[in-house]
Amino acid sequence: MRALVVDPDAPGSLRLGTAPEPRPASHQLVLEVRHLWLDRGEVVFAGRRPAGTVHGHDAAGVVVRAAADGTGPAAGAGVAAFGAGAWAQRMAVDTTAVAEVPARADLADAAALPMAGITALRTLRSRSILGRRVLITGAAGGVGRYAVQLTALGGAHVIASVGSSARTYGLTELGAHEVVVGLEGIDRPVDLILDNVGGPQPAAPWELLAPGGSLQNIGWASDAPYSLFFIGPSKTMSTFGDVREVGPGLASLLDFAAAGKLSPGVDWRGSWERVTEAAQALLDPAHRGQGGSGRGTGGC
C-alpha cells in the first residue's frame, strides 16, 4: 500500500512511498484512510524515527475490517482514529482509540481532532474551570486553539497568549476574552495555566498563578527540568502524556464539532502527493499552527 514514510534525505524527512499492509491484532480494526492530518510536532521530529517508518497518528476514514474480538464499529462505519501508522492507505488501530463520525460532521475535519483535541480535552477534564481565569500559552497552535474553545465552553475566562501580534488572528472569535502577546497586560492572578510552549517558558507565567492554582505543561518543546518555588498554599505543576483509550473523548470532540461548537481550524487541504508543500507550509513561522494533507482527492 502507499504511505507517508520517514526518509531523512527527503524535504521534511517525509516522502510518499510504500509499506506492508497492516496486520491487525484481535482488538484492532482496519481503517481505509480517507483523510490524514499533519501534526506540526510529528513533522518536526519525523527525522528522528527510523527510515521507512509509516509516520503519523491522526486519520479519519471507513472501517474495512471490524475487530475480530467483536468490539468497536462495524465495517462500513466512518470513524476518526488515533494510532501509530495513520499516514497510509490503511491502518490497524485499537477499537478503544476510534469514534464514529456523526453524519452531520465532515470526515476531513474529523481527522484534525485526535491528537491536538484529545490533549486539550483531557487536560481540561481534570479541572473545574467554571468561572476560573485560565491562561493558555502558545494559543495560536493546534492544541492551543482547541484549548481556547473548550475552555470557553467550560465557562472560564480565557486569556490567550501568543508569541507575536501576527498570531492573534481568530482567537477572539474562538472564545478568548483576552488575547495578549507574551504576558503583557495580565494584571491579575490566574487559576490555571495550560502551557503549550515548554522549555524555560513556564517560569514567567508561574509568577501569575494564584495560590492553590495549577500549571499544566502540555507543550512539545519542554527540554529541561524546572526549579519553581512558592511560599504559601501549594501551587502545582503537572505534565500530560496519557493517550490511552481516547475513543470516548474523541466522540465528545466530534459531537462538539458536529454541533458547530468546535472548529478544527482546517485551513489547507490537498492530496498527500503534496506532502512536501504541506509540511513546508506547516513549519512556516507565519503559519497559524495547524495543517494537513489528504489521501486522493480532497482531504485535509
The full set of domain ranges for the chain reads 2-112+264-294, 117-239
Q: Report the chain (300 residues): mean pLDDT per 10 consecutive residues.
A: 95 92 98 93 88 96 98 98 97 98 94 94 88 95 94 97 92 97 93 84 81 83 49 74 86 95 88 88 64 42
Helices 114-125 & 142-153 angle (0-180, nearest 10)? 40
Rounded to the nearest 5°, which phi and psi values hold at 65?
Answer: -145, 115
Question: What CATH number does the domain located at 117-239 have?
Answer: 3.90.180.10
d(CA 226, CA 236): 12
Quote the cell numbers at residue 69. Answer: 474480538
Q: In CATH terms, are 2-112+264-294 and 117-239 the same topology?
A: yes
Specify burial of residue 276 (Cβ count, 10 A radius: 0-12, 13-18, 19+).
Answer: middle
User: Which positions ≥6 away from 170 have C-beta within 8 Å?
Assistant: 145, 265, 288
CB 61 within 8 A of CB 110: no
One-letter amino acid of 32? E
pLDDT for residue 296: 37
Q: Which fold has domain 2-112+264-294?
A: Quinone Oxidoreductase; Chain A, domain 1 (3.90.180)
Prediction pTM value? 0.87
Q: What is the DSSP string of 41-66?
A: HHHHTGGGSPTTPBP--EEEEEEEE-
CB 205 within 8 A of CB 235: no
What span, in angstroms and rounded, lies between the C-alpha atoms of 77 and 42?
27
How far is Cα of residue 81 from the mean position of the Cα atoms in its chain? 12
Phi, psi torsion values for 268, nearest 5 degrees: -150, 125
Q: Which amino acid is at 180?
A: V
Q: Which residues contact 3 (CB under 8 A, 6 or more apart)?
A: 16, 17, 18, 19, 54, 85, 87, 88, 89
Looking at residue 286, its pLDDT comes to 60
